[in-house]
Amino acid sequence: MAVLLVSYSMNAQIKIVEDFDGTANFDWREYATKNKSALIKEGMLDLEVFKKGAIAMTSTDIPVLPEYDFKITMKIVIPEMSEKDTIAILFDKDKDSNRHAFIYMEDTFIQCKYNNGKFDFDKGEMNDIKFPKEKNKKTEIVIERKGGKLIVSHDNMKDMTPWRVDVDSPELGFLTTSRLKIDEVIVEQEYMGR
Protein backbone atom coordinates (compact mmCIF):
# COMPACT_ATOMS: atom_id res chain seq x y z
CA MET A 1 0.00 0.00 0.00
CA ALA A 2 2.80 2.43 0.92
CA VAL A 3 4.54 1.70 -2.40
CA LEU A 4 1.33 2.50 -4.30
CA LEU A 5 0.91 5.82 -2.45
CA VAL A 6 4.52 6.85 -3.15
CA SER A 7 4.17 5.82 -6.79
CA TYR A 8 0.97 7.86 -7.15
CA SER A 9 2.45 10.98 -5.56
CA MET A 10 5.54 10.78 -7.79
CA ASN A 11 3.48 10.41 -10.97
CA ALA A 12 0.63 12.85 -10.43
CA GLN A 13 -0.80 13.98 -13.74
CA ILE A 14 -2.54 17.25 -14.49
CA LYS A 15 -4.94 17.90 -17.33
CA ILE A 16 -6.66 21.27 -17.55
CA VAL A 17 -9.13 22.06 -20.31
CA GLU A 18 -9.77 25.72 -21.13
CA ASP A 19 -12.92 25.74 -23.28
CA PHE A 20 -13.92 29.39 -22.71
CA ASP A 21 -17.48 28.38 -21.76
CA GLY A 22 -18.53 30.31 -18.70
CA THR A 23 -15.45 31.22 -16.71
CA ALA A 24 -11.87 30.99 -17.98
CA ASN A 25 -9.39 28.70 -16.20
CA PHE A 26 -6.42 30.89 -17.14
CA ASP A 27 -5.96 34.63 -16.72
CA TRP A 28 -6.13 35.82 -20.35
CA ARG A 29 -5.52 39.52 -20.99
CA GLU A 30 -8.72 40.86 -22.55
CA TYR A 31 -9.08 44.28 -24.16
CA ALA A 32 -10.88 46.16 -26.93
CA THR A 33 -9.67 49.27 -28.79
CA LYS A 34 -10.70 50.87 -32.05
CA ASN A 35 -7.88 49.00 -33.87
CA LYS A 36 -7.94 45.53 -32.29
CA SER A 37 -9.48 43.33 -29.60
CA ALA A 38 -8.93 40.12 -27.63
CA LEU A 39 -12.13 39.04 -25.91
CA ILE A 40 -13.70 35.84 -24.63
CA LYS A 41 -17.08 35.61 -26.32
CA GLU A 42 -19.43 32.95 -27.68
CA GLY A 43 -17.33 30.18 -26.10
CA MET A 44 -14.03 31.22 -27.73
CA LEU A 45 -11.07 33.52 -27.20
CA ASP A 46 -11.53 35.87 -30.17
CA LEU A 47 -8.65 38.03 -31.47
CA GLU A 48 -9.61 40.53 -34.15
CA VAL A 49 -7.82 43.31 -36.05
CA PHE A 50 -9.94 46.22 -37.33
CA LYS A 51 -7.20 48.39 -38.87
CA LYS A 52 -4.60 47.28 -41.38
CA GLY A 53 -1.15 47.08 -39.83
CA ALA A 54 -2.41 46.43 -36.30
CA ILE A 55 -1.65 43.22 -34.38
CA ALA A 56 -4.00 41.61 -31.87
CA MET A 57 -2.24 39.65 -29.15
CA THR A 58 -2.97 38.11 -25.77
CA SER A 59 -1.15 35.78 -23.37
CA THR A 60 -1.34 34.00 -20.04
CA ASP A 61 0.76 31.84 -17.74
CA ILE A 62 -0.14 28.17 -17.88
CA PRO A 63 0.17 25.82 -14.89
CA VAL A 64 3.08 23.56 -15.89
CA LEU A 65 6.55 23.01 -14.50
CA PRO A 66 8.71 24.02 -17.50
CA GLU A 67 11.61 21.70 -16.62
CA TYR A 68 9.44 18.57 -17.08
CA ASP A 69 7.69 17.10 -20.13
CA PHE A 70 4.30 18.60 -21.00
CA LYS A 71 1.84 18.91 -23.86
CA ILE A 72 -0.26 21.92 -24.89
CA THR A 73 -3.02 21.27 -27.44
CA MET A 74 -4.70 24.30 -29.00
CA LYS A 75 -7.82 24.03 -31.14
CA ILE A 76 -8.06 27.17 -33.26
CA VAL A 77 -10.40 28.50 -35.93
CA ILE A 78 -9.21 30.87 -38.65
CA PRO A 79 -12.25 32.60 -40.17
CA GLU A 80 -10.30 33.44 -43.35
CA MET A 81 -6.60 33.52 -44.19
CA SER A 82 -5.08 35.37 -47.12
CA GLU A 83 -1.45 35.08 -48.24
CA LYS A 84 -0.59 38.29 -46.34
CA ASP A 85 -2.14 37.19 -43.04
CA THR A 86 -0.08 35.89 -40.15
CA ILE A 87 -0.99 34.01 -37.01
CA ALA A 88 1.52 33.07 -34.34
CA ILE A 89 1.67 31.05 -31.17
CA LEU A 90 3.96 32.73 -28.63
CA PHE A 91 5.54 30.48 -26.05
CA ASP A 92 7.97 30.84 -23.14
CA LYS A 93 9.49 34.09 -21.94
CA ASP A 94 13.06 34.60 -20.79
CA LYS A 95 14.45 37.29 -18.47
CA ASP A 96 14.83 39.67 -21.45
CA SER A 97 11.18 39.11 -22.52
CA ASN A 98 12.18 37.07 -25.60
CA ARG A 99 9.51 34.57 -26.63
CA HIS A 100 9.51 31.66 -29.06
CA ALA A 101 7.22 32.54 -31.96
CA PHE A 102 5.68 29.79 -34.07
CA ILE A 103 4.36 31.63 -37.11
CA TYR A 104 1.81 30.21 -39.55
CA MET A 105 1.27 31.81 -42.93
CA GLU A 106 -0.51 30.42 -45.98
CA ASP A 107 2.17 27.85 -46.94
CA THR A 108 4.98 28.67 -44.53
CA PHE A 109 5.95 27.93 -40.92
CA ILE A 110 8.60 30.03 -39.19
CA GLN A 111 10.12 29.48 -35.77
CA CYS A 112 11.93 32.55 -34.45
CA LYS A 113 12.18 34.90 -31.47
CA TYR A 114 9.63 37.64 -30.70
CA ASN A 115 10.26 40.66 -28.53
CA ASN A 116 8.71 44.10 -28.17
CA GLY A 117 6.42 43.74 -31.19
CA LYS A 118 9.13 42.45 -33.53
CA PHE A 119 10.00 39.05 -34.98
CA ASP A 120 13.73 38.21 -35.23
CA PHE A 121 13.83 36.21 -38.47
CA ASP A 122 17.66 36.06 -38.48
CA LYS A 123 17.65 33.40 -35.77
CA GLY A 124 15.16 30.68 -36.54
CA GLU A 125 13.90 28.07 -38.95
CA MET A 126 11.52 28.26 -41.92
CA ASN A 127 9.67 25.33 -43.48
CA ASP A 128 7.10 24.81 -46.20
CA ILE A 129 3.89 23.39 -44.77
CA LYS A 130 0.38 22.59 -45.88
CA PHE A 131 -1.91 24.78 -43.80
CA PRO A 132 -5.72 24.67 -44.09
CA LYS A 133 -7.07 27.45 -46.28
CA GLU A 134 -10.80 26.76 -45.95
CA LYS A 135 -12.89 29.36 -44.14
CA ASN A 136 -13.60 28.57 -40.49
CA LYS A 137 -11.51 25.40 -40.61
CA LYS A 138 -10.69 24.06 -37.15
CA THR A 139 -6.98 23.30 -36.79
CA GLU A 140 -5.17 21.60 -33.91
CA ILE A 141 -1.73 22.93 -32.98
CA VAL A 142 0.38 21.07 -30.41
CA ILE A 143 3.47 22.22 -28.51
CA GLU A 144 5.08 19.33 -26.71
CA ARG A 145 8.19 19.11 -24.56
CA LYS A 146 9.49 15.56 -24.62
CA GLY A 147 12.89 14.44 -23.34
CA GLY A 148 14.15 18.02 -23.25
CA LYS A 149 13.13 18.70 -26.87
CA LEU A 150 10.36 20.98 -28.12
CA ILE A 151 8.07 19.59 -30.83
CA VAL A 152 5.56 21.78 -32.71
CA SER A 153 2.91 20.32 -35.03
CA HIS A 154 -0.46 21.06 -36.57
CA ASP A 155 -3.08 18.46 -37.48
CA ASN A 156 -0.57 15.66 -36.66
CA MET A 157 2.10 17.04 -39.05
CA LYS A 158 5.42 18.19 -37.58
CA ASP A 159 6.15 21.80 -38.47
CA MET A 160 9.83 21.78 -37.55
CA THR A 161 12.67 19.56 -36.45
CA PRO A 162 12.39 18.89 -32.70
CA TRP A 163 15.09 20.86 -30.93
CA ARG A 164 16.68 20.80 -27.49
CA VAL A 165 15.85 24.02 -25.68
CA ASP A 166 15.42 25.26 -22.13
CA VAL A 167 11.99 26.58 -21.23
CA ASP A 168 12.18 29.52 -18.82
CA SER A 169 8.54 30.22 -18.05
CA PRO A 170 5.23 28.65 -18.99
CA GLU A 171 3.74 31.59 -20.86
CA LEU A 172 1.40 30.98 -23.81
CA GLY A 173 0.13 33.62 -26.20
CA PHE A 174 -1.62 34.14 -29.52
CA LEU A 175 -1.06 36.82 -32.16
CA THR A 176 -2.80 37.66 -35.43
CA THR A 177 -2.75 40.31 -38.14
CA SER A 178 -6.37 39.50 -39.08
CA ARG A 179 -8.66 37.28 -36.99
CA LEU A 180 -8.10 34.20 -34.90
CA LYS A 181 -10.44 32.26 -32.62
CA ILE A 182 -9.21 29.84 -29.98
CA ASP A 183 -11.83 27.21 -29.24
CA GLU A 184 -9.94 25.16 -26.67
CA VAL A 185 -6.58 24.89 -24.91
CA ILE A 186 -5.65 21.62 -23.19
CA VAL A 187 -2.64 21.53 -20.87
CA GLU A 188 -1.25 18.15 -19.80
CA GLN A 189 1.73 17.27 -17.67
CA GLU A 190 2.74 14.09 -15.93
CA TYR A 191 4.86 15.34 -13.05
CA MET A 192 7.98 13.19 -12.68
CA GLY A 193 9.72 15.08 -9.89
CA ARG A 194 11.18 13.38 -6.89
Range of the domain at 180: 13-190
| pLDDT at residue 185, as a whole number | 97
Q: What is the dihedral of CA 76, 80, 86, 88, to 10 degrees?
A: 0
pLDDT beneath 50: ranges in the chain: 1-9
| pLDDT at residue 25, as a whole number | 85
The whole-model pTM stands at: 0.89
Quick check: is 38 in a domain?
Answer: yes
- Give per-residue pLDDT as tens, 71-88: 999 999 988 888 788 899
| pLDDT at residue 194, as a whole number | 56
Quick check: is 3 in a domain?
Answer: no
Element (H, E) at 6: helix 2-10
Bridge partners (DSSP) listed for residue 87: 104, 176
Quick check: is 5 in a domain?
Answer: no
Domain count, the chain: 1
| pLDDT at residue 192, as a whole number | 61
Quick check: is 52 in a domain?
Answer: yes
- Give per-residue pLDDT as tens, 167-178: 988 899 999 999
Quick check: is 1 in a domain?
Answer: no
Task: Report the CATH number that the domain containing residue 128 is assigned in CATH.
Answer: 2.60.120.560
Task: Strands of 7-97 (E only): list them.
Answer: 13-18, 31-32, 36-41, 44-49, 56-61, 70-78, 87-91
Quick check: is 69 in a domain?
Answer: yes
